[in-house]
Structure 1
Amino acid sequence: MSAPGDVPPEFLDRLRPICRGLPETYEEPAWVGVRWRIRQRTFAHVLTVDPDHQMAYARAAATDEPICVLTFRSPVDEIHALVASGHPFFKPDWGADVLGMVLDDTVDWAEVGELLTESYCLLAPKKLATLVARPAEWGR
């Protein structure tokens, strides 16, 4: 990695089709890492946390080693359940509806797709959100 926040290409290769597949989304560099947005709202942000630079992320993820994390929006009741389940989920100190997830070799990419779709639907205009299948409908 060449700069703080650089994301391993294999994670970007998995996240891009999920995020870009949602209506009217776009990708851009964030203050650190990469984020995906609908209009002016960020529904997904990925970065590699350097505990010396992104202290709030490191504290939230309970790490003193560099790790790759994904943050996104989620309903508060779902956040409580996912955080209670433990790794890979964590609750950052900012935003009541923000959830964090450690990305590593054990990631369930189908679950990531569901969570990011739900994040998108929470922030997108209703007419766009109705164009995508909700995660709860995927199991039917």
Structure 2
Amino acid sequence: MSGRDGGAMRLLDRLRAICLALPEVTERPSHGSPTWFVRGKSVFVTLHADGHHDNDFAHLWCAAPPGAQGELIAADPGRFFRPPYVGGRGWLGVRLDGTVDWSEIDELCRDAYREIAPKRLVASLDAAPDAPA
């Protein structure tokens, strides 16, 4: 995040809190952007707070369940998009430059985690007392 302005930092802080609350998640930069990994090796969310390539707006990329990318883009193409590189694998791009529904972002990040994490970690997430129904 080259801008490091207050808005970008707020996005990072909110997304960091969501992702690091998940079992065995770590954060480190990947290609210059804050990225969250399961067990330090498998990416499930990347934040591009200053934009990336032709998408010159704050957004994240996240793994998504099969079919979710197409459904979400069709339902709200102003908010969801197919990101470059990982879009062909079903990943989802989510705009963060307008009003952000943080409950929805939390759900999308948890879904991304479930797609990438080993079954044992997903089971521990789902067994947690604060796990969403």
TM-score bracket for this pair, using the shorter chain length: 0.7 to 0.9
Q: Unaligned stretches of 5+ in structure 1?
A: none
Cα RMSD, aligned residues only: 2.3
The alpha carbon displacement at 1:122 in A equals 0.7
Q: Deviations over 1:53-73 (max 9, x none)?
A: x43xx2xx4xxxx31110000
Q: For 1:18 and 1:127, locate their aligned partners in 2 and report how far apart those are by CA, in whole Å.
A: 20
1:132 is matched with 125
Answer yes or no: is the 8 Å Cα contact 2:67–2:90 preserved in 1.
no
Superposed counterparts of 1:30-41, under 5 Å: 30-39=30-39, 40-41=41-42
2:72 is matched with 82
**SS of residue paired to 2:94:** strand
Relative to structure 1, the CA distance from residue 132 to residue 106 in structure 2 (aligned partners, 3 Å threshold; closer, same or farther) is same
**SS of residue paired to 1:8:** helix
| Count of residues in Structure 1 that have an aligned counterpart in Structure 2 | 124
Q: 2:94 aligns with which of 87, 96, 101?
A: 101
User: Normalising to structure 2: TM-score of the pair?
Assistant: 0.82
User: Normalising to structure 1: TM-score of the pair?
Assistant: 0.78
2:82 is matched with 91
Q: For 1:102 and 1:77, locate their aligned partners in 2 and report how far apart those are by CA, in whole Å.
A: 19
Amino acid at match of 1:15: L
**What percent identity do the matched residue pairs reach?**
32
Superposed counterparts of 1:1-140, under 5 Å: 3=2, 8-39=8-39, 40-47=41-48, 48-49=50-51, 54-55=52-53, 58=54, 61=55, 66-85=56-75, 86-95=77-86, 96-133=89-126, 138=132, 140=133
Q: Unaligned stretches of 5+ in structure 2?
A: none
The list of structure 1 runs, each at least 4 consecutive aligned residues, that deviate by more than 6 angstroms after superposition, is 4-7
